[in-house]
Amino acid sequence: MEPNYSYFGDSGARTQEKTVDVDGKGHVEFDLQEFRHRSYAPPMKLFAIVTEELTGNKQNASATVRVHQQRYVIENLEKPDHFHSNKSFAYQVVVKNVDGSPVASSAKKVKLSFENAHRYFAARSSAPRIEFEAPVNTNGIAIFNVTLPEVESRFYRIVATFDGSESTLGTISRFEPSIDNSEPLKIEVNTKKPKLGERVSFDVKSIDDIPYFVYTIVARGNILLSEYVDVPKGLNTYTVKFTPTFSMVPKATIYIHYVLNNDLHFEEKTIDFEKEFSNSIDISAPVDAEPSEEVKLRVKTDADSFVGLLGVDQSVLLLKSGNDFSRDEIFNSLNKYQTTTPYQLGYGRYPGETSGLVTLTNANYPYSTGRMYEKEYDVIVDIRAEVAYDEVDAISTSSPMKIEVVRTNFAEVWIWQTSGNGSFSPTSERTLPSVPIRKEFPESWMFANSPEYIFTLNAIL
């Protein structure tokens, strides 16, 4: 037995081997403490070889097993982003077994605790907790009616416990009204959980009046919806509603732009949709069947659906698995078809950075193509008739810089300049007699030259 993967900082892969006699069934024990990394344990990979005593034939099989420290997993289902002091709000959690199935109709209750946290990533506090209890329904969901008092700290850490299992659910912060919004244009999605077939609405907000705007929805590399919206005069907020299609799953990006006073205003936002299929399928078949008996399958799905059936002998699964489709694998494969824009030198935001769209415009938008917090120097190097190739004594610059290793031999370099004392200054410019320089560079993958044999070097120190 060995861990399926190792954590950063582990000294190396560790393997435990045991040999036992098997008489129909064998019993073997392993020490899992050796594989633990702090409070976590990776999945264990088991590999067994059975050798027949008489014939010496060997058979092997492998399996991966995960050992869970707790029997139940408690996760957030629905919670607010902020809380108002002395005002009640609903908080929902779901209790699951380790295989992901919900714990249905348990007689025990879930305890939800709120701890004072002065910082977002503060350590656990020994102060008294504010606790609430709620039963678990048939779907494993517990609903709490929470009211938090006025305190000095801005955050509460949330811990849920159920039947000996404990999970930290994160933090919740006190509502703080925004003072000044420096964003000139932004998109706010009003729908909490966007789903297929249900209308999704978002607000376009600006600090100034919006004359018009064009919104474009992109998903999987395709433009699925684009519309020009004429905003009534005097409004700086406008609501847009649309019905998502399966082509927008699992995520789509909204790109908004308009031109005002020869300036391009734009904003982008990505919407993550619920991983649901717009179609459903149900297959029913007899539980048992005799050899050579005709088996009838009943398939129920939407009209005009393309149905693919795959029959796999159960014994084949012992040799190789992985024939099943999963919802996550299907939706994750759809993420491969996303559009991106090439990297642009500089800093700031440019249109299409998130959506991958390219905007052709002669309007202005703030974006710098320079380097941030870095000085640039131009060095003009001219060639003497007597070009030296042997060595350079030192390099001096007008600004302080640290040079750890300086080369002294440049025999393989095709051009180099050495001044009187072997030094040059990036702030000085000297005109020296020119000499013919090689024009053809077949071994170079990138070079810029001109018919006048002029060579210019721009160095960034």
Report the alpha-carbon angle 3-4-8, nearest 5. 75
What's the DSSP call for residue 128?
Answer: P
Among 143, 174, 205, which residue terminates a domain? Answer: 174
Q: How confident is the model at residue 152 (pLDDT cuts 50, 70, 90)?
A: confident
Strands 200-206 and 185-189: antiparallel
Alpha carbon distance 58, 157 (integer Å): 55
What is the arithmetic mean of pLDDT over 271-284? 84
Evaluate whether 313 touches 320 at the Cβ level (below 8 Å): no
Q: What is the pLDDT of residue 32?
A: 74
Question: Which residues lie across from 252 on neighbouring strands?
Answer: 271
What's the DSSP call for residue 332?
Answer: H
Q: What is the pLDDT of residue 109?
A: 92
Evaluate whether 352 touches 359 at the Cβ level (below 8 Å): yes
- Per-residue pLDDT tens digits for 309-330: 877 777 776 776 666 777 778 8
Handedness of CA 425, 430, 432, 434 (dihedral sign): positive
Distance of CA 19 to the CA centre of its chain: 44
For residues 259 and 348, state if they share a domain.
Answer: yes
For residues 31 and 100, state if they share a domain.
Answer: no
Q: What is the pLDDT of residue 134?
A: 93
What is the arithmetic mean of pLDDT over 11-31? 79
Evaluate whether 111 touches 133 at the Cβ level (below 8 Å): yes
- Per-residue pLDDT tens digits for 22-36: 887 888 888 777 777
Residue 334, helix vs strand vs coil: helix
Asked whether residue 148 is assigned to any structural domain, the reply reads: yes
Asked whether residue 399 is assigned to any structural domain, the reply reads: yes
Alpha carbon distance 160, 103 (integer Å): 15
Asked whether residue 44 is assigned to any structural domain, the reply reads: yes
Alpha carbon distance 228, 235 (integer Å): 16
For residues 242 and 307, state if they share a domain.
Answer: yes
Strands 251-260 and 298-301: unpaired
- What separation, in Å, do the N-terminal and C-terminal C-alpha atoms of the chain show? 55
The CB density around residue 110, as the number of other CB atoms within 10 Å, is: 26
Q: Tell which residue, 271, 270, 268, has the closest CA to residue 214.
A: 268
Alpha carbon distance 10, 139 (integer Å): 40
Asked whether residue 129 is assigned to any structural domain, the reply reads: yes
Tokens of 113: 């605790």
Alpha-helical segments (H) within 335-454: none
Q: What is the pLDDT of residue 288?
A: 86
Evaluate whether 1 touches 30 at the Cβ level (below 8 Å): yes
Asked whether residue 179 is assigned to any structural domain, the reply reads: no
29-36: Cβ within 8 A, 24+ apart: 30/1, 32/67, 35/3
Q: Which of 175-179, 222-226, 295-299, 416-420 is the least confident region?
A: 416-420
CA dihedral 5, 8, 11, 15 (to 10 degrees): -10
Strands 222-230 and 237-242: unpaired
Handedness of CA 379, 384, 388, 393 (dihedral sign): negative
Q: Tell which residue, 74, 27, 67, has the closest CA to residue 44.
A: 67
What is the arithmetic mean of pLDDT over 177-193? 76
Tokens of 352: 């299409």
Asked whether residue 424 is assigned to any structural domain, the reply reads: yes
For residues 231 and 89, state if they share a domain.
Answer: no
For residues 169 and 246, state if they share a domain.
Answer: no
What is the longest distance spanned by two Cα atoms in the chain?
Answer: 99
Asked whether residue 180 is assigned to any structural domain, the reply reads: no
For residues 360 and 384, state if they share a domain.
Answer: no
Between 91 and 440, where is the model more confident?
Answer: 91
Burial letters 162-172, b for 16+ CB under 10 A, else e: beebebebebb
Q: How confident is the model at residue 124 (pLDDT cuts 50, 70, 90)?
A: low
Q: What is the mean pLDDT of the chain?
A: 76
HSE at residue 352, side-chain half, CA atoms within 13 A, is: 14
279-288: Cβ within 8 A, 24+ apart: 279/305, 281/305, 281/307
For residues 364 and 382, state if they share a domain.
Answer: no
For residues 102 and 194, state if they share a domain.
Answer: no
Among 345, 370, 395, which residue terminates a domain? Answer: 370
Among 174, 202, 237, which residue terminates a domain? Answer: 174
In the chain, the number of structural domains is 4
Evaluate whether 261 touches 276 at the Cβ level (below 8 Å): no
For residues 91 and 142, state if they share a domain.
Answer: yes
Note if the bond before 250 is cis, omega within 30 degrees.
Answer: yes
For residues 285 and 390, state if they share a domain.
Answer: no
Q: Which of 226-235, 276-285, 350-359, 429-438 has the highest mean pLDDT?
A: 226-235
The residues, any chain, with a CB within 8 Å of residue 46's CB and separated by 6 or more, are: 1, 62, 63, 64, 65
Evaluate whether 116 touches 127 at the Cβ level (below 8 Å): yes
Does residue 9 surpass a pLDDT of 60? no
Alpha carbon distance 273, 195 (integer Å): 6
For residues 202 and 349, state if they share a domain.
Answer: yes
What percentage of the chain exceeds 70 in pLDDT?
72
- Per-residue pLDDT tens digits for 330-344: 888 888 888 777 777
pTM for the model stands at: 0.47
Does residue 214 surpass a pLDDT of 60? yes
- Per-residue pLDDT tens digits for 384-436: 334 344 444 444 444 445 545 555 555 555 444 444 444 444 444 444 444 44
- Phi, psi of 74, deg, nearest 5: -115, 125
Site of tokens 């997993």: 73
For residues 215 and 355, state if they share a domain.
Answer: yes
* CATH assignment at residue 247: 2.60.40.1930
Structural domain containing residue 418 = 375-461
Site of tokens 């399958």: 297
